[in-house]
Structure 1
């Protein structure tokens, strides 16, 4: 289960906040104050380990990985999530950030969000990759992304009933140019040369047509029922009622969009990627909407530094040194 609190002090020291609020649309721009220092990286590690703990247990069990020295260091080359290629790590990084900022900051509606567990165990291709790589170290390849919502958290009342959930879509790009923003939010361009137009199948399309009760809630229910049935008994019962096919209990949904990565060369300081003064016209769902933008330098190096240092104490027998 996910238990690590967000390192708020480290985040506040690292990132400058530019929040804005307009009715049920809130926007938060985060900019790097300084190059990330080793102590900031170190402060983030427990949160990332906690976020990936459930999936790590599942995938290592699936691949029959053992890190006990008596087992001949089996699995040193195929640990989740550090063994995944950089492109896959970027996706995971954005999804963890969605949870990190949801817990660390004040979001639209000022709800108290809970993340019992991240849903990474449902990343089917990652599990297949770890299984294969553990048996054939030469089988490195790109990994397909996880289907469904990138992130789910819930708000719970005093009786343990889920009264609202937040579903997030996270995107990482090395440089958020205007063309990159349009491609992500509006979909890739299609059509003949010189007349190409966005196909309107980007993030706005997916958010606008998102289900009131998404698969992510069913997946959350499944993990809680398996791993923490007593601790989350009331939440599980509440989710049962929400997920009922007939006469379900209604629940409010908040949408979250997180855009993280590097700045375009011509971008000026404190300039948002998406409209912040009013709800973007492309958003048609009418629910509470929270947008988070994080602009940092040299993000690929940061992602590698974090993912290469997760659970280093577990892999000491592999001859790997801590890199902070």
Structure 2
């Protein structure tokens, strides 16, 4: 069952451990459960995409609840079939195995997510790169196991020769959408944005059912609409970057927007006395080593937030701040300093803020 809720309408947010960890919305350790309902609340949660999903409704129309749990899981299964690199028969796995350059048919949703990924990749100077899979796998954060020794520079260089957004093209016509690559072994990994993609689809499903008061989350991506069961806006708490406690760093009112957080402080392993983050810098081919530990982005869609947070994490504090201001993004960043964790937020983020526990003081590790 969910844990760590300060109030019934509050939920805490942090990126999950790649796609393998328990959901970082503090719904950790839960097994799939049937839907639950009280007089004014309906809840469904379960496993998907190697993480957990959660759908909470306030005062839903009774007719809309008929078969809703099944519809939710059908939608998530479809998203997983499109995007999962852990299953052999998914659309993206089929594309990754294909060694030619003939455009391959994809769904409208896949065309949308890849087009957005290419746009964010361009704006971040390649920091957000959905072709970085060979490097992710090399460092042991993908379907492959962790390496027994630190990858050699020759291995890194070889993997870097197999990545690059310039090798990928989305073709959209009135007849459909296609994906094309000019590098035979180009490997596309959409897990970076998959949680936002699925969260938006769950939100769309709620709207189609006539449900206007909901909170949906998949992994670290959240989308809300309307009021919580308590009659106040849904509140999302951004977690402090620590492994040991689950405290809120800041609390926001999303106002119908999506939110996603990328962090380097949970999904890592240690080798040769060095902590290696799951976030890989495509430029160096290595895990990031800067002091930026968490980036939260609020956008009109969870998908957009899910794309931006990773790109900004790769850039590091100064470059990420500069780009956030240039693009008018709603961003909240936490950087580790010698004195503790220091937060920074863009002007756009401040409009969503309800409280911030780090504005006046540093949170010491």
TM-score, normalised with respect to structure 1: 0.26
Between Structure 1 and Structure 2, which shows a larger proportion of strand residues? 2
Higher relative contact order (CA 8 A, sep 6+): 1
TM-score, normalised with respect to structure 2: 0.24
Between Structure 1 and Structure 2, which shows a larger proportion of helix residues? 1
